[in-house]
Structure 1
Amino acid sequence: MDSQGIKRIRQACANCRRKKTKCTGDRPICSHCRRNRLACIYEPYSSTVAESTVNPVPVAPMANNMNVDLLQRISTIESRLAELSGQSAHQNEYGLPSTGDLTPHLTVTRSQLAHARQLPPTTFQENASLSLLPSSILNSVIDTYFERVHNQPYSYFLESSFRQKLESSSLPQCLILAVLASAVRFSNHEFYAGRTQEASQQYARESWLSVLADHLTVEDNLNVHVVQTVNLLAVVDYTAGRVRSGWLKIGLAARISQDLHLMSEPSQWLSCSEQEEHRRAFWSIYLVDKLISCGRSRPLVILDEDCEVQLPCDERSFQNGEWRKTSTIGQLLNWNSKLTESPSPFALVVLMASIFGRCTRYVHQNRKMDEMPPWDPKSEFSAINSSLLLLESYSKSGNWQLSDILHGSVQAEGTVDRQEIGHVIFAHTLFHLCHCLLNHPFLVRRWLKPFGAKAPASFSSRALQDGCDHAKQLMDLLREATEYGYLVESSFYAYCIAVAGGIHSLASHFDRSKARDSDSLHYLQQSIEALERLANLWVHAGNIAAQLREFHSISHSFADLLDPGHLMDELDFGSEETMWSMIDYAIMGTDPSKRPLSPKPNAHLSSTAWGVLEPGMMGPAFDSPSANFLGLTPPMQLEGVEQFLNCSPGASNLI
């Protein structure tokens, strides 16, 4: 027999070795286990060869009986883990192992076991946790993903292709788990009743472990699925209040996408649908990078000038697998570009994300405020305002009413794609948010302060009025969208609402001090109610709602920010930090109990005399039942593992 025809593998899986059948060695699942729907486990290589080793590995001279006992105990734990991974006799009605089988001494992590045996973490293969999740539950959550998460506003997959790959087991486990972590918060399946937050955290944790073990520590094993996974996990972490973890993950996703050249046009050897998926994966990373960089010391990772890939096409062409030529972001931002057709709704979101990124950089990282006044036509302030007019040009909506937006989105046969409408609503929300930031009372004061008495009163009056007007228009748009039945559930809406709500709070106190009628308090109430609805889905929305309530209880101290005659007044350091906290996304979304202590304003504050809103729901209270959604992974109860999983070395006041 020709020796070249024999395929030798380094190690057989536990099932094949136990049954003495030939193992193909495929990872993470060999052919035998996939065919028989078994949990495919590859035990540490050292334990599989121990029985056949003739000469034992010599022990270092310094080793003592304690070291030998420790290695024996670890070997016992590994064997027990393998048994738990392969057994099915002790599964409960949900296909999960009974909690009584998970004895306390098994609450260790793969990395700790690897460290104890001085083996690299990659020798510990990911368990087949998804194989124990009933298909009915898996399909239910996948359905939820495409109903509630897909195109809200991030877009990664062609649904038909995703489902086909899921059925054929050709999607990596890390990606499936990331999709589950993103969608389970919206699930109404009885299996997750009262436990959606815990399930999301467990799926995200296991997905991240899979990324680390199967891709980041393996040479040449990065692909677009890894990019999609890490980007999904960045959003999960950020919206759970783990700000630093989400921040680091989006940076990693951006670097991987650049390494894969996703910022350039994909290979022509790919199908049209696959090419578009690659484009959308990149633009979703671009979008997350722009949105979560709204804060001090949060520079952008992806620059517009590096983006050569064309913008996403319309949803119908994508679904039909058609190739369509679209503009690049540079062409869309250029007034002189000759566009053959209007950009797709997703492309409008990318356009607004680009302008928003420019806006946040000007707001949070402007180091040259005193060199050029904002009213100068050559200033960055004027340039951003000019760019914002592009949305009006491309969206064909003049009065900024939702009815106009809907009318402009009706297709030739009279139908409306609700997810495309969602993109249009999101783009217009970003438009109003940019105006709220550029004309925020606190920031207008910063723009004018370097120029003192030279600052024209007409500019400050107009800017302050524009900020209040766009804050109201933002809330009107989201209210109408909800009344029309469109989904207003994107996590970033929480930040948009909070910025507008902060302006409403200042305006309500200012108007009251001037004894004039105002609807600002009504808009503030709408803002808090909207945040409380979002808090049922997103942890950080509850944190933001608490921040807005707390701010309103003291905002009467800052009401003069809306008075053009007092813009030159000094704010103490504590007051400035308070105002920064109302426009910094990272501070807003962090768990209030874990925020750094900030200096308090010097002014005496009294919340009862200024119409403070009654306390309401501050966010969902999530219990922590002991059930393990992943089926095989033992509970991780050691403090060190959280820092490892969240990529946050050392103690942090942001996590």
Structure 2
Amino acid sequence: MNAQQIFHEASEIFFVHYHNKPYTLFHAALFRRKAAAGQIPRYLQFAFIATAVRFSSQLQWKQRKQSTIDSYAQASWEMIMSSPDGLGDSSDVSVIQALALLAIIDATAGRRRAAWVKIGMAVRVSQDLRMMEEPAGTGSSEDVLLEREERRGLFWSLFLLDRFVCCSFRRPPAIKVKDCRLYLPVDRGLGEAEAPLMLGELLDETVRGRPGQVVGLSGLSVGFAALLGRTIDCMMNREERAIEPWKETSDYSSIRTSLEALKQMADSHSPDEPSDTDGTSHLVLSLTLYHLTHCILSHPFLLGVKRQMYQATPTAWIEAQIASCWSHALDLTTLVVDAKAAGYMLAPSFYSYCVLVAGTVHALLLHGEDRPASDRASKYLKTSFEYLSEISEMWQNSYIMSDALRFFTNRCVRYSGILLGPSSLFQTLTQTDISVLRCVLDYWAMMDPRNPISDLNSINIDCFADSPNKRGDADAPSSSLSPDDTTTVVGSESPSKNENQTVDPTVLVDFPLSISSPVNSDTGGQEFHKWDWDNELGSI
């Protein structure tokens, strides 16, 4: 099989399993036309193949999937940096597309600084091409229209990626909402009296309700991502004392109001046909971001930090926020797990972070005095572990998150009483406690195999006797979870493995990609989790 055949099979995998779920980095018809004409740069082909390999379900990739991904990704990056066309002054967006794909690969493999650099480069090149503004000119040929549509999807995909990786302490996004003067996607043709919205207009309550204003599900997902970024800034990065959050004029209350307004819009945009997987993927993303933002907005730890800034916080308000947080955590876990079970591909590793955040809330409620609530939290926490274990076949950082959640769950015997009790108890948290509590809410930290929780785990600083301090322990956390709730990843490569041990892309022709589901085979007694992509997609 030659290189072009590999690229062709990678294209089939990519557009089935990754495209528009939710990143719309390409226009499918335009991409295929360019591919047929030989107009796809080699560095983009390699980044494309590196991404597609992750979604191949062939058993022969099991033991070498990450090294194969890294080989193609490294070759792509070297071509970009060495080729005069890579970072030249061309108006072509291929380098932005490649950088975005490579950034995702680096981030999920634990190479955070490399990912941060590539995301920054992709954003800067897009800004240099003024992709954050409506394009000038009046051309109406098919190619011009397709290129405009591709650029629109590409820029907003960069916005999503930028907001996702900035779910962290002290990590500001590169794209500002006020700089976005590009219309949001509408997902359909517009009528004579209809007009698209810009992001700032969608977030402005005086504008978004006007008759004739249209936004699609993909545009709404951008709006929810913007509100998530605003919430991260409010709850995780703003230390100054602001208007009391329980007051209607506060930023806290304003975010909640905007969330509910966009939620109503999302509910009215549900896809008409179950076969509309693209529309459903954006609806699932929108609802996931809605629940995640509420979880962060009302998380007991982050509320505890805020309570230290005010002399008196109404007890009834705090209780209402914690109840709201748990309600959204339950809905978030249910949504993500049910969407996967229904066959909707949850492609971004960001969903693992969403499950982690919800899982921390379940863990905190595990040791409360309400026994039925504790039992319910136990079931949802077990479901969270199972999801992270299954999705780790695709994303390395999922089992990092699983380890972190398990460690956190063990310590919640202590944390529950402090975070769910009177404000004065918050001061009893140690610096180690603060590090743990911050880490499990920090997506950027959870991309790092050597995160603070991993360091604590390695020296067994956890004070509970039955704490599992090694990945793959069969012991469950000290909670009501069942003993068989383990998170063992079979066939995955350790993130601490030497990153230079990669495979030369030239030898990969012996292992063609395939979108066919894996078949049963003799694995020497070792059972592999088989992610049956095609059957899942065919079940809807």
Normalising by structure 2, we get a TM-score of 0.82
- In structure 1, the residue matched to 2:221 is 349
How far apart, in 2, do the equivalents of 1:502 and 1:221 lie? 47
Q: Which residue of 2 aligns with 1:359?
A: 231
Contact map agreement 2:292 2:332 (CA 8 A) in 1 = yes
Q: Post-superposition shift, 1:189?
A: 4.5
Distance 1:523 1:306, change over 3 A: same
Q: Is residue 248–residue 254 contact of structure 2 (8 Å, CA) maintained in 1?
A: yes
Pair 214,527 (structure 1): closer, same or farther in 2 beyond 3 Å: same
Aligned to 2:151: 278
Q: Are the counterparts in 2 of residues 460 and 564 from structure 1 also a CA contact under 8 Å?
A: no
Does residue 621 of the first structure (1) align with residue 478 of the second (2)?
no
Would the alpha carbon gap of residues 245 and 629 (structure 1) be closer, same or farther in structure 2, given more than 3 Å must change?
same
Per the alignment, residue 381 of structure 2 pairs with: 524
Structure 2: gaps of 5 or more residues: 468-477, 510-540
Question: Shift of residue 341 of structure 1?
Answer: 4.9
Which stretch shifts more, 587-596 or 139-148? Answer: 587-596
Q: 2:302 aligned with 1:446, yes or no?
A: no
1:525-579, CA deviations, whole angstroms, 9 ceiling, x for partnerless residues? Answer: 0011111111010011111111111211222110114534355431121111110
1:186 maps to 2:55: yes
- For the pair 1:326 / 2:184, whether they are aligned, the reply is no
Higher-RCO chain (CA-CA 8 Å, sequence separation at least 6) = 2
Secondary structure, counterpart of 1:187 in structure 2: coil
Distance 2:368 2:266 in 1: 35
Q: How does 1:40-79 map to 2 (within 5 A)?
A: none
Query: How far is 1:498 from its partner?
Result: 0.2
Report the secondary structure of 2:22's partner residue.
coil
1:45-95 superposed Cα distances (whole Å, 9 cap, x missing partner): xxxxxxxxxxxxxxxxxxxxxxxxxxxxxxxxxxxxxxxxxxxxxxxxx5x
Taking structure 1 as reference, are residues 515 and 601 closer, same or farther at Cα in structure 2, changes over 3 Å only? farther
Deviations 1:439-470 (A, max 9, x none): 11101111112223x21101110011111110
Check the 8 A contact 2:396/2:492 in 1, yes or no: no
In the alignment, which of 331, 337, 348 is matched to residue 479 of structure 1? 337
Task: Check conservation: 1:355, 1:388, Cα contact below 8 A.
Answer: yes
> Alignment length, in residue pairs?
481
What is the Cα deviation at residue 273 of structure 1?
1.2
Distance in 2 separating the partners of 1:544 and 1:325: 42
1:19-168 matches, within 5 Å, as 132-133=2-3, 135=5, 137-168=6-37
Determine if contact 1:133/1:631 at 8 Å carries over to the other structure. Answer: no
Question: Letter of the aligned partner of 1:241 in structure 2?
Answer: G
Seen in structure 2, the aligned counterparts of structure 1 residues 153 and 189 have a Cα distance that, compared at 3 Å, is same
**Residues 231, 576 of structure 1: CA spacing in aligned structure 2 closer, same or farther, 3 A cutoff?**
same
Query: In structure 2, what is the equivalent of residue 392 of structure 1?
Result: 263
Paired AA for residue 541 in structure 1 = S
Provide the C-alpha distance between the structure 1 equivalents of 2:211 and 2:202, rounded to a whole number of angstroms.
Answer: 8
The equivalent of 2:290 in structure 1 is 431
Change beyond 3 A, Cα 1:555–1:446: same
**Match for residue 111 of structure 1?**
none
Residue from 247, 252, 258 that aligns with 1:381: 252
Counterpart in the other structure of 2:318: 460
Distance 2:383 2:216 in 1: 31
Indicate how the Cα distance of structure 1 residues 582 and 595 shifts in structure 2: closer, same or farther if over 3 A, else same. closer
TM score, norm. by length of structure 1: 0.69
Retained in 1: the 8 A contact 2:407–2:453?
A: no
Give SS of 1:526's match: helix
The answer to whether 1:170 aligns with 2:46 is: no
Q: Helix, strand or coil for the counterpart of 2:433?
A: helix
- Partner residue, 1:256: 125
* Residue identity matched to 1:188: S
- Measure, in 2, the Cα distance between the counterparts of 1:498 and 1:589: 12
Which residue identity does 1:202 align to in structure 2? S
Counterpart secondary structure, 2:308: helix
CA, structure 1 residues 193+533, in 2 after alignment: closer, same or farther (shift >3 Å)? closer
Aligned partners of 2:43 and 2:329: how far apart in 1?
40
How much has 1:479 moved relative to structure 2? 2.6
Kindly indicate whether the alpha-carbon contact (under 8 Å) linking 1:153 and 1:422 is maintained by their aligned counterparts in 2. yes
Larger radius of gyration: 1
1: distance between equivalents of 2:57 and 2:420?
A: 49
**Alignment partner, residue 520 of structure 2:** none
In structure 2, distance between residues paired with 1:365 and 1:461: 23
Instruction: Assess, with a 3 A threshold, how the Cα gap between structure 1 residues 568 and 382 changes in structure 2: closer, same or farther.
Output: farther
Q: Residues 572 and 175 of structure 1: is their aligned pair in 2 closer, same or farther, counting only changes over 3 Å? A: same
C-alpha contact 1:373 1:448 (8 A) present in aligned 2: no
Matching residue's letter, 1:489: A
- 8 Å CA contact 1:349, 1:426 repeated in 2: yes
Match of 2:20, SS state, is coil
Which is further off, 484-493 or 416-425?
484-493
Alignment-derived partner of residue 630 in structure 1 = 506
CA distance in 2, matches of 1:409, 1:471: 24
Structure 1 counterpart of 2:406: 549
Change (3 A) 1:618 1:592: farther
1:245 matched to 2:114 = yes
Distance in 2, matches of 1:433 and 1:632, equals 40
CA positional deviation for 1:376: 1.9
The one-letter code matched in structure 2 to 1:187 is S
Does the CA-based 8 Å contact 2:156-2:222 persist in structure 1?
yes
In structure 2, what is the Cα distance between the partners aligned to 1:482 and 1:596? Answer: 28
Structure-2 separation of matches of 1:516 and 1:353: 30
Q: 1:336 aligns with which of 199, 206, 209?
A: 206
* Superposition RMSD in Å: 2.8
In the aligned structure 2, how far is the partner of 1:421 from the partner of 1:515? 33
The answer as to whether partners of 2:393 and 2:492 remain within 8 angstroms in 1 is no
Three-state SS of the structure 2 residue aligned to 1:518 is helix
Identity of aligned residues (%): 28
- CA pair 204-601 structure 1, distance change in 2 beyond 3 A: closer
Do the aligned residues in 2 keep the contact of 1:482 with 1:488 (CA within 8 Å)?
Answer: yes
2:96 to 227, 230, 235: 227
Measured in 2, the distance between the counterparts of 1:202 and 1:558 equals: 43
2:382 and 2:481 in contact (8 A); partners too = no
- Per-residue Cα deviation, 1:82-128 (whole angstroms, up to 9, x for no partner): xxxxxxxxxxxx5xxxxxxxxxxxxxxxxxxxxxxxxxxxxxxxxxx
Match of 2:184 in 1: 311
CA deviation profile, 1:491-546 (whole Å, cap 9, x unmatched):
1100000000011111112247x796530010000011111111010011111111
CA shift, 1:224, in A, is 1.2
Q: Say which of 540, 557, 561 aligns to 2:397.
A: 540
CA distance in 1, matches of 2:106, 2:88: 26
Of 377-386 and 558-567, deviating more is 558-567
- Within the candidate set 181, 202, 213, 2:71 is matched to 202
Closer/same/farther in 2, CA of residues 215 and 439 from structure 1, 3 Å limit: farther
Change (3 A) 1:339 1:516: closer
Q: Deviations over 1:321-371 (max 9, x none)?
A: xxx952110111112222525421110110111101101111221021x34
What is the CA distance between 1:626 and its match in structure 2?
7.1
Deviation at 1:220, TM superposition (A): 2.1
Q: 1:346 to 1:384 in 2, by over 3 A?
A: same
Residue 430 of structure 2: which of 546, 560, 572 is its match? 572
Q: Rate the CA distance shift 1:288–1:215 in 2: closer, same or farther, 3 A.
A: farther
